[in-house]
Structure 1
Amino acid sequence: MPLTTDCRAPYTASDTVHDARFFNEDLAPTPPQRRTWTTYNYIALWFSMSMEVTTYMLASSLIAGGMNWKQAIGTILLGNLIVLLPMLLNAHAGSKYGIPFPVFVRASFGTRGANIPAILRALVACGWFGIQSWLGGQAIFAMLNVLWPQTASHAGVLWACFLSFWLLNMFVVWNGVESIRILQSFSAPFMVIMSLTLLFWMWHKAGGFGPMLSAPSKFHSTGDFLKFFFPSLTAMVGYWATLSLNIPDFTRYAKNQDAQILGQSLGLPVAMTLYSFIGIACTSASVAIFGEPIWSPITLLGKFHQPFVAFLALIALLVATLNVNIGANVVSPSNDFSNLAPRYISFRTGGLITGFLGLAMMPWKLMSSFGSYIFGWLIGYSGLLGPVAGIMIADYFVLRRTRLDVDSLYRRNGAYEYSHGINPRALVALAAGVVVALIGLVIPPLRFLYDYAWFVGFFVAFAIYLLLAIATVPPRLSGQTERPHVSSGDVKER
């Protein structure tokens, strides 16, 4: 079936007999009247999620690690083109059937087994939520320092700013997913303007693009460069490894397949490359202006003493951080936690759980340096999520040929019951992928496997899952025997 084919049948929550243990209104397939997201909404989504502090720091860390601006841009562009492929593949089911990630993953892991990858994804999102909340609090603290310099010496003020920004995120969560679409539609153009303003301000202070981009590569041989390049490329892929899994949480609202495919294909690589260039250029300029690479934009803005410029730029950072935190780090874990106990945990409750776990993961330690950010956090969790992506894609595209029995996703003893609701083949493939990807952390000679953690985990899990599926030939594994909805009849191609 072509990837661009839109395949949808009318569906409402009352169309089928569902099990309350696996169903609530937030997890139900999105009905046609709520599928309103256009190509622009997906472009805006990616611009909003890309134009924020951690993207800037992702790019600037490559400069701090020794790359010149051309090497850094090339690494970022390649990484985002690579991750775009699993992004679009997993997005297909969301748009076709209107189902979120924790429901989609039931097809490969089982109705009960799906909780394992869902919680893995949710815990990573909680870590990101804490990181973004910490950075947002730092931005508020920096704005206060611009207006009232005496606050800089009071550590309690920083913690108050952090908790205030956390509460602001919780307020947006309480207002639901539609508020996210509205917020991002208006904030994306604003963020483009403010980011370009920051770029040209640094251009002015540095004396032009020549001095601004003059920082040379610190690598003196191809071998030295490749030792830094490959782990960095894995980190670039790992940066969006989270969204490559739960992208159905967003594409379930697409008007059609073409809207999400075109919107994501334009939005992700363009937005990431554009904003990464701003981070790279500003960090390179900081070498010319201050004599050292400053990888945090909050710290960089604090170096300037023009209150109006610093205040306006920090406002932009604050808006960007709020956008990405809600869009990327709340929607998915809220659905994932809801999937654990749909009768008791709604989207709102799941969002509150995400917020509190984000606090508990101590984000100030995760962002203590660019090394811990790139080589610890990003690469580390990519080894957990890459295998999940490999299993999902192998199951949906290779084995099922994009056909799902949606009704069976919401009840026991259906097409996805496997063994007591758990697919042992998926768990074996997941364990194998994670172990091989992360084994380099404890066995130094195998460190290269960790440097490629996402790729290693993805392909190991993909291959093992297919081999086990072919060897055991479980009943109804082939997508040819499955149907989109029990009560809606055959799905019509359009």
Structure 2
Amino acid sequence: MMNLSAANLTSRTRDGSGRAKGASSCGHRANARLTLRGKRQINRVEGGRRLVKSSSSSSSSSSASEFWLTEPLAARQPVNPDPSLINEDFKPTEESKRTFAASDVAALWIGLVISVPAYYLAGSLVELGMSWWQGILTVFVSNAIVLVPMILNAHSGTKYGVPFPVLTRAAFGVRGATIVGVLRGLVACVWFGIQTWVGGTSLLTLYEALVGPFSAAPIAFLGGITMPQFSFFMIFWLIQVLVLIKGIESIRIVEKYSAPILIGLSTALLIWAFWRANGIGPMLSATSQFGPGGAKEGQFMKVFLPSVTANVGFWSTLSLNIPDFTRYAKSQKAQLTGQAIGLPVFMALFSFLGVAVTSATTVIFGQVISDPVEVVSRIQGLTPTVLSLIGLMLATISTNIAANVVAPANALVNLAPRKVSFTKGAFITALLGIVTQPWRLLSSTEGYIFTWLIGYSALLGPIAGIIIADYFLVRDRTLDIDALYSTSGSYWYSNGYHFKAFLAMAIGVLPSLPGFINMAIPSVAVPKFFQTLYSCAWFVGFGVSIFAYLALTRE
């Protein structure tokens, strides 16, 4: 797709000598057509809101091809940016810093996918009554769905080289984008706390395996956890902070070199479960509780739908701020190929591990154990236990710093670009992760899946829908870079806020609100219709917000 300046467009209405055409009526008509075409192109460059229709089916086909694989990158430095809206972290990524090849993007996803919460999420499906194949199907369907907004949102980051907080200025306004960034960032802060708690628990288990168990009473004001648990939580927190102070490049390096180690250790855990369960048959012997005679006979869809939503919600956070990473991709082909391989393929494989090992625990230990840290702690032999726990900690670090730090750090930078750097934002994020007290959230499977994962997906689904609708359907994949960094450009709207976007977001969240209240406070009864809507919260919010935004912004 060509980006033409006003000067170039004007020159196209002239002949080779630079003299205006117009010797004949035919020339006048040609000139008029070219001038109209030029105005349309100028409108697009300036962030115009009309779709430019292709002149033929062949050009539409060519445009689609460019979009997915070969569309030229359009990153450039903004002209006269407002100093309050830009710093070194928020400038469009220069070509020399675009170091992410397809293999790097895939490695990023391997590091993200192989994590304790992802294992726990897959294993929880067995705990909720699914057989191994029902659990795998649920995860695969969910990730095939979330891959779509993931790739769509990644496009703008690759094309323009700017992070998520800057890109959202086009849809929500220059100031309004800070609200969206903070909402996304708060979710990530909670996730950072959850992952840090898991890593700290693994570190404590490793210490006890080497030295011996602690004996400590629960502390009431800490929510019932012991001082050793809290201490190792803080030690693991500090380890991650030391990695974060090195910046975004350290994240790429950690993901690249941890990926093969994590694959090897995950395979070893699967082999162990196969050996202890005496074969693949017993290993996958846990049957569905939804079949005839099962404890939950006929209730499969009641669990399947919210489980799909929870799995989509699991990655819905990253589907928003994926531009924070794809801005470093070498091309659209690199980000697309890396994501298409990294997310659905490795998530399905790792979910099989989580489901299979959890299913095997019913044979090995006589009970369903979906917590991988507890499973590893029961492995006989010091060496396997130590290696497994080190793998769990490496998996936690590789996921946490990439998925749960970049977004809130950038959101904080967006609040005050001149005062907050990425490193400062990352440190503040880490501090907020402590405040969230994640051990309370992980106290039950139902709270983890049905309240936390589905609850925040009801908020993030509408945001994703509005951003995608604005970029693809309203702006036809064309943004005005200068306006993204200006208080007087086309994205300033009403004093920096695009109220139509926020109204569309509220409309998207509203249908899921009664169901969320019922889930968080069971004593508050709501009609079954709203409970059903809540079980599909991300999908409802995503779809409703798109239609609402298009209706509100129709010219």
Normalised TM-score (structure 1): 0.93
CA contact (8 A) 1:11 1:32 kept: no
Find out whether 1:352 has 2:427 as its counterpart. Answer: yes
Q: How does 1:427-442 map to 2 (within 5 A)?
A: 427-442=502-517
Percent of aligned pairs sharing the same letter: 48
CA distance in 1, matches of 2:74, 2:358: 50
Find out whether 1:28 has 2:111 as its counterpart. Answer: no
1:436 CA displacement:
1.3
Provide the secondary structure at the position in 1 that maps to 2:73. Answer: coil
Find out whether 1:190 has 2:190 as its counterpart. Answer: no
1:20 CA displacement:
1.7
Other-structure match for 1:487: none
Find out whether 1:462 has 2:533 as its counterpart. Answer: no
Q: How many residues align?
A: 469
CA distance in 1, matches of 2:183, 2:227: 33
1:151 CA displacement:
2.5
Other-structure match for 1:486: none
CA contact (8 A) 1:136 1:318 kept: yes
2:246 to 171, 175, 182: 175
Provide the secondary structure at the position in 2 that maps to 1:118. Answer: helix
2:116 to 50, 53, 61: 53
Other-structure match for 1:106: 169
1:444 CA displacement:
3.8
Q: Which stretches in structure 2 are left out of the alignment for 5+ residues?
A: 1-62, 218-225, 518-525
For 2:191, the aligned partner's letter is W
CA contact (8 A) 1:144 1:151 kept: no
1:105 CA displacement:
0.5
Other-structure match for 2:383: 308
Find out whether 1:332 has 2:412 as its counterpart. Answer: no
1:7 CA displacement:
2.5
CA contact (8 A) 1:191 1:316 kept: yes
Deviations 1:341-381 (A, max 9, x none): 11111101111111111111110011112111111110000
Other-structure match for 2:282: 211
1:460 CA displacement:
0.8
Other-structure match for 1:133: 196
CA distance in 1, matches of 2:81, 2:467: 23
Q: How does 1:134-153 map to 2 (within 5 A)?
A: 134-151=197-214, 153=216
Provide the secondary structure at the position in 1 that maps to 2:85. Answer: coil
CA distance in 2, matches of 1:407, 1:347: 22
For 1:360, the aligned partner's letter is V
For 2:71, the aligned partner's letter is D
Q: How does 1:284-295 map to 2 (within 5 A)?
A: 284-295=359-370
1:236 CA displacement:
0.8
Greater relative contact order structure (CA < 8 Å, 6+ sep): 1
1:326 CA displacement:
0.3
The more displaced of 302-311 and 419-428 is: 302-311
CA distance in 2, matches of 1:227, 1:406: 46
1:291 CA displacement:
1.1
CA distance in 2, matches of 1:37, 1:346: 22
For 2:409, the aligned partner's letter is S
Other-structure match for 1:450: 534
CA distance in 2, matches of 1:444, 1:290: 41
CA contact (8 A) 1:145 1:152 kept: no
CA contact (8 A) 1:109 1:427 kept: yes
Provide the secondary structure at the position in 1 that maps to 2:488. Answer: coil
Deviations 1:373-396 (A, max 9, x none): 111110000001000000001000
CA distance in 2, matches of 1:150, 1:141: 9
CA distance in 2, matches of 1:239, 1:439: 21
Provide the secondary structure at the position in 2 that maps to 1:411. Answer: coil
CA distance in 1, matches of 2:207, 2:516: 41
For 1:431, the aligned partner's letter is A
CA contact (8 A) 2:107 2:256 kept: yes
CA distance in 2, matches of 1:438, 1:323: 34
CA distance in 2, matches of 1:399, 1:289: 56
Other-structure match for 2:132: 69
Provide the secondary structure at the position in 2 that maps to 1:21. Answer: helix
Other-structure match for 2:71: 6
For 1:117, the aligned partner's letter is V
Q: Which entry has the higher C-alpha Rg, 1 or 2?
A: 2
1:434 CA displacement:
1.2
Find out whether 1:16 has 2:79 as its counterpart. Answer: yes
For 1:329, the aligned partner's letter is N
Find out whether 1:416 has 2:491 as its counterpart. Answer: yes
Other-structure match for 1:253: 328
Provide the secondary structure at the position in 1 that maps to 2:380. Answer: coil
CA contact (8 A) 2:75 2:93 kept: no
For 2:458, the aligned partner's letter is G
CA distance in 2, matches of 1:460, 1:172: 40
Q: How does 1:37-52 map to 2 (within 5 A)?
A: 37-52=100-115
For 1:313, the aligned partner's letter is S
Normalised TM-score (structure 2): 0.83
Other-structure match for 1:274: 349
CA distance in 1, matches of 2:512, 2:83: 37
For 1:69, the aligned partner's letter is W
CA contact (8 A) 2:455 2:516 kept: no
Provide the secondary structure at the position in 2 that maps to 1:99. Answer: coil
The more displaced of 340-349 and 242-251 is: 340-349
CA contact (8 A) 1:438 1:449 kept: no
CA distance in 2, matches of 1:223, 1:100: 46
CA contact (8 A) 1:48 1:188 kept: yes
